[in-house]
Structure 1
Amino acid sequence: MEVVVFGATGYLGSHVVEQLILAGHSVTGVVRRGSDARFLHSISCFVKELDFTESAIEKVISEGACVVNCIADTRMHLSDRQRAKVEVELTSRIFTCAERAGASKFLQLSTVMVYGADRPAHPIDESYPLRPKYSYSRIARQREEVLIALAESARTNLIIVRPSNTLGKRDSSALPALMGSLEKGFFPVIDGGNWRYSNTDARDVGRAFVHLLDLQCSSPEVFLVQGYEMSWIELKQQLDHYLGRSSRLLNIPKKVALALGRFLEFVFPYGSSPPLTRFMVETMSTHALFDDSKLRATGFAPRYSLRETLNDALTDQECVT
């Protein structure tokens, strides 16, 4: 199948491209001018630089092609307006252009953070109410709502994919931050670190997109993706085992972490990268368990365990450095 991937140089976007190519699809990776596309070239992906005008977007999408949108502004400290420029406005433009170009299917990378931080201690599925609290989650929900509204009167089929927390190669945030702490001899957790959450190997996220290309749907569909369950303490143990040394647990009370996050959000201007925000605190101190039975019922099964994820990710020099 001919597939056009927007946001192909991103962390998860690059994994989607890689798995599509491994599955034999013809892939065009769409990137902004001046983007670092060395990895895409190394796996023989056709790379197209765009200025993201509507005419340029339409020109890169052939009739009958499948479009995968992984574009996102992943910075933690943005105003709703700043975040919406990419998450909502640009995404809407890409979908509208895909529809006009005659694309057969549009797969959108979303996030489980649309559910907010008010989640139970048991797995939830796609039907659980969306109660986003912070900007990252609010705008992600708005993006989904706008896409679904556009898709209701479109010929292009829409599938929204919500991966649980992911680990893998080319991660530029979570693993590098943890490795930096471990190099200093400590592993930070909030309120004990026994919070349980679903995790997915980034390769399995890419495999899920490949699988969903062949799924026939007559109306917009939403799918959760998750691979295995763990806690922050279990992740610490696995990383200690991998590195061959024991790190010290740095336990931070949640109230203290939230107060510090609030202060840093005030001090750091929008668009910068505070070392801690309240959103980051909530993600590390809330159960985040997900039930992906809907996706598995279509025949998809994740392949990788936590140990396999770390073995693959931590041998990647780009991640370690």
Structure 2
Amino acid sequence: MRVLVTGSSGFLGSHLVDQCVRAGHDVRAFVRPDSDRARLDGMPWVEPAYGDLADAGSLRRAVEAVDVVFHSAARVVDYGTRAQFWDTNVEGTRRLLDAASGAGVRRFVFVSSPSALMRPDEGDQYDIDESVPYPDRWFNLYSETKAVAEQLVRTANRPGFTTCALRPRGIWGPRDHSGFLPKLLAKMLDGRLPDLAGEKQVLVSLCHCDNAVAACLRAADAPAERIGGNAYFIADAERTDLWAFLARVAELFGGRPPTRRVPAPVLGTVVRTTELLWRLPPLATRREPPLSRYSMALLTRSATYDTGAAARDLDYTPVVSQETGLRQLADWVDSVGGVRAFVRPVA
């Protein structure tokens, strides 16, 4: 196949490019002109396509003679204006869908997120499946715009143009410099991450990058009549005790596991104050808040997902175990110069 990968210079997108090449596909990598292209430039068998999700013309050129689009590009930070999130996550997806459909692309695989279903007022959830409806209110602009974009993708499905959405939770693994794991590890290296869960066990589903990529490739080949218009939760095989996992990562890379606890009233005050401050334009548009209701929910609520539908329709099975993934991560961290290079944000 000839495939287009958006977000190809990023964390998940770069792994998608690699696996598509290994599978023998012709790969076109969609990247912004100002992105770090050093890795892609070292892959002469990958065709670059320069553009932006805001530029419909560049999208039309990118999808020419393409069979499958893997759309992994998105605004994923926890700050920014509504216009910034809406134009990238919603309108960018709409433009790409229109370009792909018009060019005769046969399949469109959208990398979504379980955050599209998160409600501000819900508690712990265990082994939820795709029957859970979209909420009426969301935690933040990221959750809202991913939900809207996912619905655009699902409703675009038609004969000859098969669309589906995948919802990997907590993607982790090599090459990640800005996801949840390097951010939390950076705080543990400096002893700045308190134990926010207290006595509570927080059980979560996570998703190693190789497992997310495996699901994407399965979605490209699965029968159209089976997957068209559907969304699927994707996760590792393990149900993870989040804070035990973080302690393991801290031990692996020389950090300090979280032990200091913050009283709930103090924590609530800090979160409310931070969110008020981040309504100010200089902060809201330029810097991620140190704490928010959304990030607190991810760290203190149990959230596990049933991947039975993906197993049934995509023939999805995790290809990397958590233990293997941690060994891979440790080897990669050594190869890039150590743990500080891992947790250093990349522009």
User: How many angstroms apart in 1 are the aligned matches of 2:85 and 2:159?
Assistant: 25
User: How many angstroms apart in 2 are the aligned matches of 1:294 and 1:283?
Assistant: 23
Q: Which runs of 5+ in 1 are unaligned?
A: none
User: How many angstroms apart in 1 are the aligned matches of 2:123 and 2:41?
Assistant: 41
CA offsets 1:2-47 (integer angstroms, 9 cap, x no match):
1001111122222222222222211111011121022223444322
Change in CA separation of 1:96 and 1:235 when aligned onto 2, cut-off 3 Å: same
User: How many angstroms apart in 1 are the aligned matches of 2:133 and 2:81?
Assistant: 24
Q: Deviation at 1:69?
A: 0.8
Normalising by the residue count of structure 1, what TM-score does the alignment of the two structures yield? 0.91
2:121 is the alignment partner of 1:114: no
Structure 1 residue ranges (4+ consecutive) displaced by more than 4 angstroms after TM superposition: none
Q: Which residue does 1:232 correspond to in 2?
A: 242
Q: Which residue does 1:48 correspond to in 2?
A: 49
Change in CA separation of 1:106 and 1:177 when aligned onto 2, cut-off 3 Å: same
Q: Which runs of 5+ in 2 are unaligned?
A: none
Contact 1:191 1:253 in 2 (8 A): no
2:290 is the alignment partner of 1:283: no
Normalising by the residue count of structure 2, what TM-score does the alignment of the two structures yield? 0.85
Contact 1:254 1:281 in 2 (8 A): no
Change in CA separation of 1:179 and 1:77 when aligned onto 2, cut-off 3 Å: same
Q: Deviation at 1:302?
A: 0.5
Change in CA separation of 1:36 and 1:54 when aligned onto 2, cut-off 3 Å: same
Map residues 202-281 of structure 1 onto 2, 5 A cutoff.
202-218=209-225, 219-227=228-236, 228-243=238-253, 247-268=257-278, 269-271=283-285, 272-281=287-296
Change in CA separation of 1:310 and 1:42 when aligned onto 2, cut-off 3 Å: farther
Q: Which residue does 1:67 correspond to in 2?
A: 69
User: How many angstroms apart in 2 are the aligned matches of 1:137 and 1:253?
Assistant: 28
User: How many angstroms apart in 1 are the aligned matches of 2:46 and 2:323?
Assistant: 29
Q: Determine helix, strand or coil for the equivalent of 1:122.
A: strand
- Counterpart amino acid of 1:129? P
Contact 1:20 1:206 in 2 (8 A): no
User: How many angstroms apart in 2 are the aligned matches of 1:50 and 1:105?
Assistant: 21
Q: What's the Cα RMSD here?
A: 2.2
User: How many angstroms apart in 1 are the aligned matches of 2:25 and 2:308?
Assistant: 26
- Counterpart amino acid of 1:270? A
Change in CA separation of 1:232 and 1:245 when aligned onto 2, cut-off 3 Å: same
Map residues 74-223 of structure 1 onto 2, 5 A cutoff.
74-117=76-119, 118=122, 120-131=124-135, 132-134=137-139, 135-149=141-155, 151-152=156-157, 155-173=160-178, 174-185=180-191, 187-192=193-198, 194-218=201-225, 219-223=228-232
Contact 1:159 1:220 in 2 (8 A): yes
Q: Deviation at 1:256?
A: 3.4
Contact 2:17 2:29 in 1 (8 A): yes
Change in CA separation of 1:51 and 1:143 when aligned onto 2, cut-off 3 Å: closer
Q: Among the aligned pairs, what percent are the same residue?
A: 22
Q: Deviation at 1:153?
A: 5.2
Q: Per residue, is there more strand in 1 or in 2?
A: 1
User: How many angstroms apart in 2 are the aligned matches of 1:244 and 1:5?
Assistant: 35
Q: Determine helix, strand or coil for the equivalent of 2:195.
A: strand
Change in CA separation of 1:42 and 1:63 when aligned onto 2, cut-off 3 Å: closer
User: How many angstroms apart in 2 are the aligned matches of 1:254 and 1:114?
Assistant: 27
